[in-house]
Amino acid sequence: MKIENLEKKENALLNRDEVTAQVIFSDATPSRSDVIKALAATTKSKEDLVIVRKMQGNYGGGSATLAAHIYKDRASLENVEREYMRTRNTVKEEPKAEPAEEKSEAAEEKTEESSEKEAPAEKPAKEAEESSEKEAEEKKTEPEAKKEGE
């Protein structure tokens, strides 16, 4: 991923820089957190002060138009940006891989739990089959009882 045609406009009143740029990529459209990291590296700012307002993919793929705000400090960001934009633009940490031994132990525990869950489920199914057989036998005997009563 590469950021090109970076246009920066300073907005001193809101204590931020307003940025428009082209994001060039080869595979799928990059995630918002990837774009924030690349934009912060390009502009030499902190990731938590970058807000991506809009990222519009261009027809034909391979590029997107980007609009972002880069704040000078955290207080200005919190005063200006709405809460949903701040939460949307938080950079998500990638989950750390567990060691192989812990994964295998967790997998064994899950299989034991699933076998325990399946066992009680089989019992009601058997009971339902038995009760349906009993009902079928009762229906057969009812017409015989009515004939005898007539």
| Residue 118: per-residue pLDDT | 52
Say what the pLDDT of residue 63 is.
95
Please tell me whether the overall predicted TM-score, pTM, comes out greater than 0.85 for this model.
Answer: no
**Residue 139: per-residue pLDDT:** 65
Residue 91 has what pLDDT?
80
How much is the pLDDT for 61? 82
**C-beta of residue 22 within 8 angstroms of C-beta of residue 63:** yes
Walk along the chain (150 residues) in steps of 10 and give the mean pLDDT of each run: 93 96 93 94 94 94 94 96 93 64 56 54 60 68 56
- One-letter amino acid identity for 147? K
